[in-house]
Amino acid sequence: MKFDLGIMRDALPLAVELVAITLFFILLGYFIGGLVNKMFSVVCMFIGVTVGLGFFVWRITKRFQ
């Protein structure tokens, strides 16, 4: 059985996009929440992860329709 790198090469841009979107929204939530207090910063980071993953899933579903 031969290992195929094509699958990894095709999935790499999606993985980079997932990490970039998620990190962007985590940092955005951290800075917005940091304006209030530390606990709100954690809540905003969690909301940022949720929004980032939702945005990624939305883009993927639009891309493969």
| pLDDT score, position 60 | 84
Instruction: Enter the pTM of the model.
Output: 0.73
The structure tokens listed for 61 are: 């579903």
Q: Each residue of 4-58: pLDDT tens digit? A: 666 666 667 888 888 888 999 999 999 998 888 888 889 999 999 999 899 888 8
Assess contact for 43 and 30: CB atoms under 8 A.
Answer: no
| pLDDT score, position 46 | 92
The structure tokens listed for 30 are: 């951290």
Domain extents in the chain:
14-63
Does residue 1 carry a pLDDT above 60?
A: no
